[in-house]
Structure 1
Amino acid sequence: MHDHKNYGVYKDLKQDMRDGRLMLHDKVWVDRYEDYIISYTYRREESAELEEMTVQELMNLTKGKATP
């Protein structure tokens, strides 16, 4: 069985793109632990220490191969 912990984030990201909230070149702020994405937001939160990425970079990270 394969487990891909980023799949839920990938689905949410694709839905935001379909709904017109995000485009590939837009910036998002990501909370992550190594290669595991905890959450992302497209509104900057000053108090949180989040990593800035483009939507394309986030999609590339989350759609990687599933790990065994």
Structure 2
Amino acid sequence: MNRHMNYGIYKDIKKDMRDGRLMLHDKVWVDRHEDYIIFYTYRREESADLEEMTVQELLNLTTKKATR
């Protein structure tokens, strides 16, 4: 069965871009499991082990279909 596992994250990113908080070249920090995004933040958390990505990279990842 194919489901889009990252649709909620995609909607949040697009909303943050519309509201002016993010632009495509901005850096975000992402917690993910394989191709499934758990959450993202645009504020660096020193204690967290997060992956750094650009907003464009995150959008590219969230628009892919995930197979579960």
Give the TM interval when normalised to the shorter protein: over 0.9
**Cα separation, partners in 2 of 1:33 and 1:66, compared to 1, 3 Å:** closer
Q: Which amino acid aligns with 1:24?
A: L
TM-score (norm 1): 0.93
Gaps in structure 2 of 5+ consecutive residues: none
Extract unaligned runs of 5+ from structure 1: none
Aligned residue type for 2:53: M
Q: Percent identity at matched positions? A: 81
Letter in 2 for 1:15: K
Deviation at 1:66, TM superposition (A): 5.2
Runs of 4+ in structure 1 displaced over 2 angstroms? 65-68
Task: Name whichever structure is richer in strand by fraction.
Answer: 2
